[in-house]
Chain A
Amino acid sequence: MADLTAYRAVLASRVRAQTTYRLSFGLDLLGALLVGLVELAETWVVFSQVDVLGGLDFGGVLLVFGLANICFSVADLLVGHLDRLPRYIREGTIDVFYLRPQPLLAQLVTSEISLRRLTRIGVGVAALVAGLVANEIPDPLRAAAVVGLALVFGTLIFCALFVSAAGCQFWLVNGAEFTNAFTYGGSYAASQPTSVFGTGLKITFGFVVPAAFVGYLPTLVVLGQPGPALLPAWLAWFLPVAALWSCLLAGLLWRAGVRHYQGAGG
């Protein structure tokens, strides 16, 4: 696969470049760690006031938080740098990617890798492990299966969300704030028990931007809870479908964006 050599060569150089300056790399890692810890602390503060939130206790919410954070951070590490697209478009550097014999999206995704997210993934893993230890799990086998499913397809859902946001950037050039509302907002929604939201938001994060599939629904399966009216626990087994839907949406938005940039539609 000669094609993969090209991507590997770029990525390897990015890793080298980021790790060359030890101190700055260390500070990057520390910064990401602090962000993760602050978010965890936020959840913990809520539970110092209440015992149960949206049907889950602190142990349950730790599971939601852990799953959502791992998936989001891995996606951010892999494709988060797509949010630089507006800069590439403004400065015209996007043109350089058009002059290379690889697909545009594949080039952009492999043009960078945000290693500093590693510590944030660490926070997510710690929360997930703590959640699994703290809770009584009726069926460990089912729990393992659904957690595995959530980690793989949840990451895919967030990757798709980043690509969708980038696709919109071709129109919005300065709209990074707007699309961040979907990526970071989606991450926030995923790390909350979806049951706390009203019906409108439940549908939005259950079925349009399927954030509930990442943390909340798998947690219900792990804990053996039935779930609320609109979001029954068994939906968690449809994670691959939710991921497929996200990817389809992302593909359409990206294609439309590229077409718009090239001017076929405008």
Chain B
Amino acid sequence: MPGAVVEVDRLVREFTVREPVPGRRLRRRARRVRAVDEMTFTVGPGEAVGYIGANGAGKSTTIKMLAGILVPTSGSVRTCGLEPIGERRTLSRRIGVVFGQRSQLWWDLPLSESFAILGAIHRLEPDALASRRAELVEELELADFWSTPVRQLSLGQRRRAEVAAALLHRPELVVLDEPTIGLDVLSKQRLREFLVHERRTRGTTLLLTTHDMGDVERLCERVLVVDHGRLAYDGTLSGLGATVAAERILVVDLAEPVADLQVPGTRHLGSEGEGVRQRLAFDPATTTAAAVLTAVQTRAEVRDLSVAEPDVEDVVRRLWARNRAVGAGGRPGSA
């Protein structure tokens, strides 16, 4: 695809793992592990793509290859039309990466100084720096703690500052690795709103990895599901939702033990305490939590309840299970 922001073609990355040999204390056996296995996908300009999968599925490895940190074992990758390894320094002016778990700020400096340094690092003109900085301070609400050393910021404040730091040089591609991990509901909401705004006003391409289905629902139109280094799904979120993602789980605590509940339009997932607590899955597109609850109440007295959204791991697990049931090697819902 011409003009693609990310082009990944049969990308493979292997690592050598050394593990102890049972019974031989000092021997180590080297084993090759494929973290990314024949991955192929393309991201066009302005797209917002959720890159999801369980821990160890190969998400971070892919991102590191996109950013020029790791060399692919085989296959090819182009980011912003550039060769990430050979043209790393040019590429770094055009992409912004936020690692949820590692900081690019100086822990003992206030944001005011950190952003001055980042401006120098990216060689921004004073005017361009000032206007962009003002924009980010306003939209991410950084003004209240602009002069506080980073080490004294709360997690939510720091995360917003990290996002601002990665976007200071107006990158055309923004890669976010677990951007909302550990944040409270309000902070998550704020960060998502900012990213939606940034994309709408500047046409920024977004690629984000996450464990949070909420991130995907509110930010991404397209979803790539990766499992054991392989692409398990590539398509719209609604396509994924129609299959597995949209399911909600109703957990009911009953007054006394009851046999497994069979409620129309739901799947019984399991019972605990001889049936005192039961879990029912339902699709909000075909029924509602209230309807399911009413149906349950005709059979037993409900003491307490909660409704859970499935997390990414659930989605991937079920997608994979269904995949195998359909027949090995199939790529469901390929778009």
Q: A6 is contacted by which of B68, B93, B120 (Cβ under 8 Å)?
A: B120
Q: A263 is contacted by which of B68, B73, B103, B123 (Cβ under 8 Å)?
A: B73
Residue A93 at the chain B interface, CB threshold 8 Å:
yes
Which chain A residue lies CB-closest to B16?
Answer: A266
Q: A96 is contacted by which of B68, B104, B109 (Cβ under 8 Å)?
A: B104
Residue B323 at the chain A interface, CB threshold 8 Å:
no
Most chain A beta carbons < 10 A, residue from B73, B106, B121, B123: B121
**CB pair B103 A2 closer than 8 Å:** no
List the interface of chain B (C-beta within 8 A of A).
13, 15-16, 64, 67-71, 73, 85, 88-90, 92-93, 95, 97, 99, 101-104, 106, 108-109, 113, 116-117, 120-123
**CB pair A6 B121 closer than 8 Å:** yes
The digit string for A254-266, where 1 denotes a CB below 8 A from any CB of B, is 0000010011101
Q: Output the least CB separation between B115 and chain A (Å).
A: 11
Contacts of B68 in A (CB 8 A): 98
**CB pair A100 B13 closer than 8 Å:** no
The digit string for A63-79, where 1 denotes a CB below 8 A from any CB of B, is 00000000000000000
**CB pair B117 A96 closer than 8 Å:** no
The digit string for A88-124, where 1 denotes a CB below 8 A from any CB of B, is 0001110110111111000000000000000000000
The 5 A-B residue pairs whose C-beta atoms are closest, nearest first, are: A9-B120, A264-B71, A9-B117, A6-B120, A96-B104
Residue A35 at the chain B interface, CB threshold 8 Å:
no
Offer 18 A-B interface pairs, CB within 8 angstroms, sorted by A: A6-B121, A9-B116, A9-B117, A9-B121, A10-B117, A13-B106, A91-B102, A92-B99, A92-B102, A93-B103, A95-B99, A96-B103, A98-B92, A99-B97, A101-B89, A101-B92, A101-B122, A263-B70
State the majority secondary structure of interface residues on A: helix
Residue A5 at the chain B interface, CB threshold 8 Å:
yes
CA distance A146 to B117 in the complex (A): 40
CA distance A264 to B104 in the complex (A): 25
Q: How large is the interface on A (under 10, 10 to 19, 20 to 34, 35 or more residues)?
A: 20 to 34
With contacts A2-B123, A9-B120, A266-B16 known, is A98 near B103, CB below 8 A? no
**CB pair A95 B117 closer than 8 Å:** no
Q: B101 is contacted by which of A10, A13, A92, A262 (Cβ under 8 Å)?
A: A92
Q: Output the least CB separation between A203 and chain B (Å).
A: 33
Q: Output the least CB separation between A108 and chain B (Å).
A: 13
Contacts of A98 in B (CB 8 A): 67-69, 88, 92
**CB pair A102 B89 closer than 8 Å:** yes
7 additional A-B residue pairs with CB within 8 Å, beyond A10-B117, A102-B89, A263-B13? A17-B108, A92-B102, A95-B99, A96-B99, A96-B102, A99-B97, A262-B85
**CB pair A6 B123 closer than 8 Å:** yes
CA distance A2 to B210 in the complex (A): 37
**CB pair B89 A263 closer than 8 Å:** no
Q: B64 is contacted by which of A10, A91, A95, A259 (Cβ under 8 Å)?
A: A95
Q: Report A1-15 residues with CB < 8 Å from chain B CB.
A: 2-3, 5-6, 8-10, 13
Which chain B residue lies CB-closest to A10?
Answer: B117
Contacts of B85 in A (CB 8 A): 262, 264
Q: Output the least CB separation between B303 and chain A (Å).
A: 46
With contacts A10-B117, A13-B106, A262-B85 known, is A95 near B69, CB below 8 A? yes
Q: Output the least CB separation between A24 and chain B (Å).
A: 12
Q: Output the least CB separation between B143 and chain A (Å).
A: 21
Q: Output the least CB separation between B318 and chain A (Å).
A: 31
Q: Output the least CB separation between A171 and chain B (Å).
A: 12
Most chain A beta carbons < 10 A, residue from B69, B106, B116: B69
CA distance A93 to B162 in the complex (A): 14
Which chain A residue lies CB-closest to B14?
Answer: A263
Contacts of B123 in A (CB 8 A): 2-3, 5-6, 101
Contacts of B71 in A (CB 8 A): 259, 262-264
CA distance A95 to B121 in the complex (A): 16
Which chain A residue lies CB-closest to B95?
Answer: A99
CA distance A102 to B92 in the complex (A): 9
Q: Output the least CB separation between B8 and chain A (Å).
A: 17
